[in-house]
Chains A and B, each alone.
Chain A
């Protein structure tokens, strides 16, 4: 595993985080680090423990054991201070639908103790960043799904957190809006230098956006590295042979090798680039979407 120990300062350090609901282990001794500017995906199928992990890291549910440190200080001992450096975009919108966009942001600004003198200016800037400045005095219930998502994201950024948690930020959105959100998220990571931990079960999302992927399956992290390294370890290309009941996969470092092997085969087959789903399948024996 890559512990990503470059020169950047550690923002979040998680050690042996554990949570059980009755007899079900939801998160099993999960450990990882996030440094300044990192963009990390927690990739896994539904029910793998992604949301539970985020909820524990943000104080929404209590872990049973393990340590969480923000900037070297224990989360449990310095909850107020730690919470001021985090921003959260929950999977389910928790905007107040009866308040306007402006009022939702103002409530957030007050709760986070932002100085009165700069609140209004920062709220307007956030609304502009999200492209909803013109609708600032409209009630959130009148907003489309995409607008609500953008509003939740800029709300999480309003108090200028050092780390942003995005829990399945694009789930349930159509592809066009998903791409718009990706652009917004990349902008946040690059322009604002905010570290991001994003949970997702979309392979493409983790592959395109993140510099590091934590693969989680059945409550445990089974691999951690950059998407490139994870894929290269398997081989860049895959030759899929379609049999009557199954698909056989062979991995190759180069396309040429794959093509050569294909020529020897008599079955129906296809060559394509390796994806993170292949990595997941190789590690867990099942596809991420299954």
Chain B
């Protein structure tokens, strides 16, 4: 029954094992630079919403970095689909699209959670005090699931490899900077503020920040995240179903 799921994970993890050191190193550089640039420079003197800036920043770095890692599987899927045709091996096998999507999504979550762990280690190195509530674990699971699913969907929906970079430039990067990762979305002009409330990252950042800094999270935000998770998983499933070699 779960052959597809297990096969997909076997492949991804066998590949990951081989490049783990390089991948972990790559995933650890950019959040560290952000921490140094923004955390050290403004961290002590500036406070945002009653929190020292560096404490405000850590949850934002967690959502940013895990999004990059989870959504980043689209790049790998793309290469295996367009260049090496490895995806055909899945399509020929007696497995269902549901198993393929689940396997890839779990791999994306694994990568996202690994980068989350890295930033939590950084937070200790920078002596940032965080509180952990169960809400954090639910929210980060949903967050990484949402962006892994989106990554799968995009990798399957685009017609050629180059469109992937365009999508990142025009959608993913602006989203990462504007959805409350580095500053509260309330400071955005009204139009942008409305726009970013259509994006899941705004909600996952709010919930995760609240859960790590002792604030109260809004249950509606968590429900919206669950809604996005169902929607993007559905989109990924639809995309894999219609893919042809």
Contact = CB atoms under 8 A, between A and B. Distances in A.
Interface of A: 55, 58-62, 79-84, 86, 88, 90, 92-99, 103, 106-108, 110-113
B170 interface: no
A278 to B, nearest CB: 35
A106 B89 CA distance: 12
15 contacts: A59-B92, A61-B245, A62-B244, A81-B94, A82-B94, A84-B94, A95-B86, A96-B86, A98-B15, A98-B18, A99-B15, A107-B10, A110-B10, A111-B7, A111-B95
10 A-B pairs with least C-beta separation: A111-B7, A60-B245, A94-B85, A111-B93, A83-B94, A110-B7, A113-B3, A84-B94, A61-B244, A80-B94
Contacts of A95: 84, 86
B193 interface: no
Interface residues of B, number: 24
B113 to A, nearest CB: 23
A96 B245 contact: no
Contacts of A94: 84-86, 88-89
A35 to B, nearest CB: 22
B95 A80 contact: yes
Contacts of B123: none
B88 A90 contact: yes
A107 B15 contact: no
Contacts of B245: 55, 60-61
B217 interface: no
Nearest to B19: A98
B92 A58 contact: yes
Interface in B82-101: 84-86, 88-96
B14 interface: yes
A108 to B, nearest CB: 7
Contacts of B14: 99, 103, 107
Contacts of A55: 244-245
B197 interface: no
A60 B88 contact: yes
Given A55-B245, A103-B14, A110-B7, A83 B84 contact: no
Nearest to B90: A111
Contacts of B91: 59-60
Contacts of A113: 3, 94
B96 to A, nearest CB: 7
A217 B85 CA distance: 27
Contact of A111 (B84, B85, B89, B244): B89
Contacts of A98: 15, 18
Contacts of A110: 3, 6-7, 10
Interface of A is mostly: loop
B69 to A, nearest CB: 19
B78 to A, nearest CB: 14
A99 B15 CA distance: 7
Given A61-B245, A96-B80, A111 B3 contact: yes
B134 to A, nearest CB: 34
Nearest to B89: A94
A99 B10 CA distance: 11
Contacts of A60: 88, 91-92, 244-245
Contacts of A80: 94-96
A25 B245 CA distance: 18
Contacts of B3: 110-113
Given A95-B84, A108-B7, A111-B93, 18 more contacts: A55-B245, A60-B91, A60-B92, A80-B95, A81-B94, A84-B94, A88-B92, A94-B84, A94-B88, A95-B86, A96-B15, A98-B18, A99-B11, A99-B15, A107-B11, A107-B89, A110-B3, A112-B93
B112 interface: no
Contacts of B85: 90, 92-94
Contact of B89 (A62, A82, A108): A108
A169 B205 CA distance: 52
A97 B3 CA distance: 22
A108 B96 CA distance: 15
Given A58-B92, A96-B84, A111-B89, A106 B10 contact: yes
A199 to B, nearest CB: 15
Nearest to B88: A94
B155 to A, nearest CB: 16
Interface string B1-40: 0011011001100110010000000000000000000000
A92 B15 CA distance: 21
A107 B5 CA distance: 11
